[in-house]
């Protein structure tokens, strides 16, 4: 009986990135207790970076030995590796852009870096999970760590409010997701994704009605987690109130991981009832794009505007899901990678500009950035161009592949409306560019401190990543296309 109490080395190897991250987080907590109260905690940030880089290397190395592990709790495949790399990269960029911000706010503590590691570990568990229990636990590790990060500045009323809303809506969503999982378990008698898929595909499988109920409930849960309309109402408040590096993190990492499990569950398990959920996703996609883009038009706060724009971007990814094809899944993967880079980058610029207490987060505060800090302005230009979808950036190819997949699946109207939406979106991104280059410097840009090394690295890396995805998209896309055949579909 206890033969499998001791997992084989290869199984542990397949789980290595998450082990490194969890141990790294624990180590930081120990080191935090050992270092004095008054010492600067940047060293702990370096430790977290080391753990993240080690995990990144491990994630790439693990790709060499794909397969299930721990009684099929995990499944290392191309899809898992792709998203592992994305979430770890988001973690690295977040740490780089946090140093200066945290010390400015007097909150440069080891706990923050430990929570980043734990959250990324949770996301790693989510994207490799092959079992609903693992998806659930990974989701909760990631979410709970992120709730706390959002409320890290405890004396700031806005951060409190952000953490509270994020927490309440997140738990609400989790309850829906769980109820859906309960019905999925009821329909199939198992919680293992591979086994569920086998059961669902059998001729005498569960009734579509029960599966549909499970899918509907899980859709509500995922809808909240990826902030798609009509479950988007929490996102602007939460993104605006949270500390900017945390906003960057939660708009990219947890969201990409949530999308990963969303794709995995819907493309594999609920494939047989695809005709039923496709129209619903169609509506969700269109509503997200429209609400996100039109609400963003009227914002004067950069963080809030980017929050609405992230709702719109969730809509674009849903278009790819709606296509229900391997190429659609691959397009969604590519887009999420590009989106993570450009969004973290854009928020990193905000983290640089905003000043103590986040005083300068209006769009007008960008005035004169082009003349005062040309390098930062150039980076922001790259991110905004990518968010618009200008050629030679990752965002362009992401949108291109998504709409190509949608057209191949005969989603003509959705494609047309999506493209019109992109045109609307261009307006508010371009407005930022105009303010940045055409206006005289204001109070915010006059008193800018020199660009700190950490932020410089974050900006440079994400800008380079966005350009790389835009100029040489084929290799990443090929990898995505190969990985999109989940479960040998």
Q: What residues between 284 and 303 interact with other proteins by CB under 8 A?
A: 298-299, 301
Residue 162 lies near other proteins (rule: CB under 8 A): yes
In contact, 320 and 328? CB cutoff 8 Å = yes
User: Alpha-carbon distance 89 to 307, whole Å?
Assistant: 20
Comparing CA positions, the residue from 192, 137, 108, 133 lying closest to residue 22 is 137
Residue ranges in 259-288 that form contacts with other proteins under rule CB under 8 A: none
Q: What is the DSSP-derived secondary structure letter of residue 65?
A: S
Phi/psi for 203 (5° steps) reads -65, -35
Buried/exposed 60-72: b ≥16 CB within 10 Å, e otherwise: eebbeeeebbbee
Nearer to other proteins, 304 or 399 (CB): 304
Size of the site for other proteins (CB under 8 A): 81
In contact, 285 and 318? CB cutoff 8 Å = yes
Residue 57 lies near other proteins (rule: CB under 8 A): no
Nearer to other proteins, 122 or 315 (CB): 122
Nearer to other proteins, 130 or 415 (CB): 130
- Exposed (0-12), middle (13-18) or buried (19+): which is 10, by Cβ within 10 Å? exposed
Residue 163 lies near other proteins (rule: CB under 8 A): yes
Of 126-134, 334-342, 368-376, 412-420, the segment contacting other proteins by CB under 8 A is 126-134
User: Alpha-carbon distance 10 to 13, whole Å?
Assistant: 5
The residue within the footprint of other proteins, chosen from 60, 73, 464, 467 (CB under 8 A), is 73
The residue within the footprint of other proteins, chosen from 115, 366, 435, 444 (CB under 8 A), is 115
Residue ranges in 298-327 that form contacts with other proteins under rule CB under 8 A: 298-299, 301, 304
In contact, 315 and 287? CB cutoff 8 Å = yes
Q: Least distance in Å: CB of 169 to other proteins?
A: 10
Residue 9 lies near other proteins (rule: CB under 8 A): no
Residue ranges in 221-240 that form contacts with other proteins under rule CB under 8 A: 236-237, 240
Of 114-122, 310-318, 339-347, 392-400, the segment contacting other proteins by CB under 8 A is 114-122
The residue within the footprint of other proteins, chosen from 91, 241, 442, 454 (CB under 8 A), is 241
Site string for other proteins, 185-214 (x = CB under 8 A): xxxxxxx-------xx-x-xxxx-xx----
- Exposed (0-12), middle (13-18) or buried (19+): which is 208, by Cβ within 10 Å? middle
Q: Least distance in Å: CB of 462 to other proteins?
A: 26
In contact, 253 and 340? CB cutoff 8 Å = yes
User: Alpha-carbon distance 21 to 84, whole Å?
Assistant: 12
The residue within the footprint of other proteins, chosen from 7, 212, 272, 452 (CB under 8 A), is 7
Residue 26 lies near other proteins (rule: CB under 8 A): yes
Place of tokens 């979430």: 87
Taken in order 252, 255, 257, 259, is the CA torsion positive or negative?
A: negative
- What is the residue-wise DSSP string for 81-93? HHHHHHHHHHHHH
Residue 40 lies near other proteins (rule: CB under 8 A): no
Residue 147 lies near other proteins (rule: CB under 8 A): yes
Of 110-118, 263-271, 366-374, 424-432, the segment contacting other proteins by CB under 8 A is 110-118
Nearer to other proteins, 172 or 437 (CB): 172
Nearer to other proteins, 114 or 317 (CB): 114
- Cβ neighbours of residue 209 under 8 Å, at least 6 residues apart? none
The residue within the footprint of other proteins, chosen from 52, 85, 132, 348 (CB under 8 A), is 132
């Amino acid at each position: 009986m206890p033969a499998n109490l001791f997992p084989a080395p290869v199984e542990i190897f397949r789980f290595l990135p998450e082990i490194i991250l969890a141990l790294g987080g624990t180590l930081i907590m120990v080191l935090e207790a050992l270092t004095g109260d008054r010492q600067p905690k940047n060293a702990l940030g370096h430790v977290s970076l080391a753990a993240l880089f080690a995990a990144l290397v491990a994630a790439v190395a693990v790709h060499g030995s794909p397969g299930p592990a721990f009684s099929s709790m995990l499944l290392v495949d191309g899809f898992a590796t792709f998203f592992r790399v994305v979430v770890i990269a988001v973690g690295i960029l977040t740490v780089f852009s946090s140093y200066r911000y945290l010390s400015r706010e007097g909150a440069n503590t080891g706990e923050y870096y430990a929570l980043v590691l734990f959250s990324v570990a949770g996301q790693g568990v989510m994207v490799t999970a092959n079992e609903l229990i693992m998806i659930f636990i990974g989701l909760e590790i990631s979410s709970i760590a992120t709730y706390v990060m959002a409320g890290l500045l405890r004396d700031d009323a806005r951060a409190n409010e952000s953490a509270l809303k994020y927490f309440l809506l997140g738990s609400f969503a989790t309850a829906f997701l769980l109820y859906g999982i309960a019905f999925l378990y009821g329909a199939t008698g198992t919680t293992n994704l591979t086994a569920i898929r086998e059961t669902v595909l059998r001729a005498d499988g569960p009734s579509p009605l029960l599966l549909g109920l499970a899918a509907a409930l899980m859709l509500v849960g995922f809808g909240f987690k990826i902030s798609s309309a009509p479950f988007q109402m929490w996102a602007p408040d939460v993104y605006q109130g949270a500390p900017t590096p945390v906003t960057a993190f939660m708009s990219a990492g947890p969201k990409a991981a949530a999308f990963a499990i969303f794709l995995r569950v819907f493309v594999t398990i609920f494939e047989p009832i695809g005709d039923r959920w496709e129209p619903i996703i169609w509506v969700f996609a269109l509503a997200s794009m429209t609400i996100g883009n039109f609400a963003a038009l009227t914002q004067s706060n950069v963080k809030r505007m980017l929050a609405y724009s992230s709702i719109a971007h969730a809509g674009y990814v849903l278009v790819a899901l709606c296509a229900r094809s391997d190429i659609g899944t691959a397009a969604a993967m590519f887009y999420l990678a590009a989106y993570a880079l450009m969004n973290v980058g854009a928020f990193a610029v905000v983290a640089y500009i905003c000043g103590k207490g986040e005083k300068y987060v209006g769009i007008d505060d960008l005035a004169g950035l082009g003349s005062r800090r040309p390098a930062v302005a150039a980076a922001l230009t790259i991110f905004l161009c990518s968010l618009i979808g200008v050629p030679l950036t990752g965002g362009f190819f992401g949108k291109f592949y998504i709409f190509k997949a949608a057209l191949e699946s005969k989603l003509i109207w959705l494609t047309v409306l999506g493209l019109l939406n992109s045109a609307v979106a261009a307006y508010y991104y371009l407005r930022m560019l105009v303010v940045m280059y055409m206006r005289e410097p204001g109070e915010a840009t006059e008193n800018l401190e020199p660009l700190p090394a950490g932020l410089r690295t974050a900006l440079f890396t994400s800008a380079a990543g966005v350009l790389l995805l835009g100029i040489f998209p084929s290799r990443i896309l090929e990898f995505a296309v190969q990985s999109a055949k989940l479960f040998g579909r």
